[in-house]
Amino acid sequence: MYSFLGRLNFREVIPVEGWRIRGQAIDKAMKLKGINGRELGDLLGVSAATVSRWINTPVTPKDEMKRRLCEILDIPLAVLVESEDAISQIGNGILFVPVYDRAFIACAGYGNGGTDGIYSEAGEVLPLPKAKLGPIAVDAHEQPFAVIVEGDSMEDAGIADGATVVINPIAEVYDGDPALVRYGLKNEVAVKWIYFLGEEIEIRSASLKYPPRRFTPEDVAAGNFTVLGKVMFSVTPAKRGV
């Protein structure tokens, strides 16, 4: 089992400019948190009347306040601006999993170079049952997220090119599990099988045309290998007929 998990602060980079918050989403999230408008206002440094206007009128918070709302209410921004159908799922055993857009694509091949793409935008959210996601962290930065993969190296593992994979940063990773990893001097990111060989860790593709790579405890200590999370499941888009 691999216990050293990478921590990525995705929430800080969700775009908020120009998005209008839906008042009923704030209201429902407050009730789930067990706080009222006055208490939320105190946490945000605004009056209860301001919170009431956000809920009951077209007035929407400023961009920085939107970020703080997400943090205090522990809910993705994309949910606060989503449709009533999405809002109705809040608290119903559903977790809204952010899907990071194609600026961050986990490569199921040789890996995508560089870490710039990790700090990318959540283009949408997937409402998924918590029961399918494994343990859910209290810290929103360690909760499940989803990425899109490209490449054919993990197709035999059921992870096809273009699939959306759901990652849990705190789920235990055992020998042979697929995981999202970051490795090498170029900080490449990829989905691979993980194997524990004594003190060393080996990552393998499902395709033999991609050679395995092995990492030592020194590599881990130097930041040249990190497990970003376990792959919980993969969703593959249907292909059109020819």
Predicted TM-score (pTM) of the model is 0.63
Residues 6+ apart with CB under 8 A from 83: none
User: CATH number of the domain that 138 lies in?
Assistant: 2.10.109.10
What are the tens digits of pLDDT across the range 73-112? 877 666 666 545 555 555 567 777 878 755 455 565 555 4
Of 58, 88, 118, the last residue of a domain is: 88
Of 88, 104, 135, the last residue of a domain is: 88
Domain range holding 226?
Answer: 94-235
What are the tens digits of pLDDT across the range 158-207? 888 888 899 999 999 999 999 999 998 888 888 999 999 999 999 999 98
Of 36, 53, 88, the last residue of a domain is: 88
Give the whole-angstrom CA distance, residue 131 versus residue 93: 8
Q: What is the pLDDT of residue 177?
A: 95
What are the tens digits of pLDDT across the range 42-81? 999 999 999 999 888 877 788 778 878 878 887 766 666 6
Q: Are 134 and 223 in the same domain?
A: yes
Residue ranges in 14-162 assigned as alpha helix (H):
23-33, 37-44, 48-56, 63-73, 77-80, 84-88
- Residue among 228, 233, 227 at smallest CA distance from 132: 233
Q: What is the pLDDT of residue 172?
A: 94
Structure tokens at 145: 């997220």
